[in-house]
């Protein structure tokens, strides 16, 4: 007969499958853990711990979840109310005493949100706000103000002080590496204009008309974001008084970077019915650059001005191949102006690269 060494009830080393009873070994902090390492069971396949048997209640697959999935409430014809009732039946609210209570049906208007958190005050309902001496302010309070007061609030919020232009700036290569950020009006317009449709119709004209100009920096122009910005404004783009486009080109001396030269092009929409678009250039250092290529484009679009609105005219200008080529040549040229050829028509330097 095979002998076995038993050190405690339920512990037998010679049996092929044995289990260690944790109550057989006294817990004493004075005994080091290394002294009981030989008592830890090792499985036959070399693993550290032996196989843990599955409890008997979990050996057979439960039918409750299968019945819940096959319920008609979760089919295509099931409604939201049926699904909520089905979930309340399978997952009832269990109180501290252990008794199950049905879930209260949510009301349509007054839903007490404090039930979702612990020790938080109840959210005021519409009836509470109407009966209160100091009702909570909402968006309807602004609409009760006179139009002159509302317009003054909008001017303080969206009009630049001291006749400064609105600057549309961004870091280089921000929109060229993914989706353009200027495709959404919520990004281009002030935050107050994204509150609701009524505020957008009231704020957008003040923001676009009373600001002196809209200046697009070189990163926005180079990454072709101007067209996306104008497209999101919709019909409001027709009331912008002035468009400014900034172009920059680097100046190098052999392998040494010196500085950036900035060129400012101003596009002015027509003031009256017989007016035309005008393209002017601001001074950059000591001289300008040739813009004959852009002037031909402006004359061509002015001939079609009867068929185009102001917004469509500006979109065709910034989306044209002539403007894109001009921006690319300006960005690519790195020589000083004294080393560049001059145009025979205007006498300014041009970029022939």
Burial of residue 237 (number of CB atoms within 10 Å: 0-12, 13-18, 19+): buried
Determine which of 68-82, 165-179, 219-233, 281-295 has the lowest per-residue pLDDT on average. 68-82
Percentage of residues of the chain with pLDDT beyond 70? 61
Angstrom distance (rounded) from CA 140 to CA 157: 19
Domain ranges in the chain are 157-339
Q: Give per-residue pLDDT as tens, 226-281.
A: 888 888 888 888 888 889 998 888 888 777 888 888 888 888 888 766 678 888 88
Determine which of 60-69, 294-303, 339-348 has the lowest per-residue pLDDT on average. 60-69
Q: Is 46 left (phi over 0), alpha (psi -120 to 50) or beta?
A: left
Contacts with 185 (C-beta within 8 Å, 6 or more apart), sequence order: 193, 194, 232, 233, 234
Residue 97 CA neighbour count, 13 Å, CB half:
3
pLDDT of residue 228: 85
> Is the predicted pLDDT of residue 208 greater than 50, yes or no?
yes
pLDDT of residue 227: 84
Note the pTM of the prediction, 2 decimals: 0.55
pLDDT grade for 94, boundaries at 50, 70 and 90: low
Q: Give per-residue pLDDT as tens, 175-189.
A: 777 778 787 777 888
- As a residue count, the chain comes to 353
Percentage of residues of the chain with pLDDT beyond 90? 0
pLDDT of residue 122: 54
pLDDT of residue 119: 47
């Amino acid at each position: 007969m095979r002998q076995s060494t038993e050190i405690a009830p339920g512990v037998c080393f010679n049996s092929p499958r044995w289990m260690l009873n944790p109550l057989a070994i006294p817990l004493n902090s004075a005994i080091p853990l290394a002294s009981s390492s030989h008592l830890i069971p090792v499985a036959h396949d070399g693993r550290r711990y032996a196989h843990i048997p599955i409890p008997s209640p979990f050996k057979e697959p439960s039918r409750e979840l299968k019945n819940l999935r096959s319920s008609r409430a979760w089919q295509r014809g099931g409604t939201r109310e049926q699904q909520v009732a089905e979930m309340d039946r399978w997952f009832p609210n269990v109180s501290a005493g252990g008794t199950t209570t049905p879930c209260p049906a949510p009301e349509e208007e007054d839903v007490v949100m404090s039930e979702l958190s612990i020790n938080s005050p109840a959210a005021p309902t519409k009836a509470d706000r109407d009966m209160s001496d100091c009702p909570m302010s909402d968006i309807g309070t602004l609409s009760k103000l006179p139009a002159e007061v509302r317009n003054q609030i909008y001017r303080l919020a969206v009009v630049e002080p001291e006749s400064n232009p609105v600057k549309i700036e961004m870091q280089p290569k921000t929109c060229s590496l993914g989706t353009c950020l200027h495709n959404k009006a919520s990004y281009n317009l002030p935050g107050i204009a994204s509150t609701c449709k009524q505020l957008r119709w009231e704020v957008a004209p003040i923001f676009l008309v009373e600001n002196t100009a809209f200046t697009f920096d070189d990163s926005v122009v180079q990454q072709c974001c101007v067209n996306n910005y104008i497209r999101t404004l919709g019909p409001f783009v027709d009331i912008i008084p002035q468009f400014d486009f900034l172009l920059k080109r680097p100046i190098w001396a052999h392998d040494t970077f010196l500085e950036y030269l900035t060129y400012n092009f101003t596009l002015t929409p027509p003031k009256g019915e017989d007016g035309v678009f005008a393209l002017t250039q601001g001074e950059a250092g000591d001289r300008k650059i040739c813009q004959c290529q852009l002037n031909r484009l402006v004359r061509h679009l002015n001939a079609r001005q009867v068929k185009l609105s102001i917004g469509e005219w500006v979109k065709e200008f910034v989306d044209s191949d002539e403007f894109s080529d001009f921006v690319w040549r300006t960005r690519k040229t790195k020589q000083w102006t004294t080393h560049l050829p001059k145009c025979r028509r205007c006498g300014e330097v041009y970029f022939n690269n």
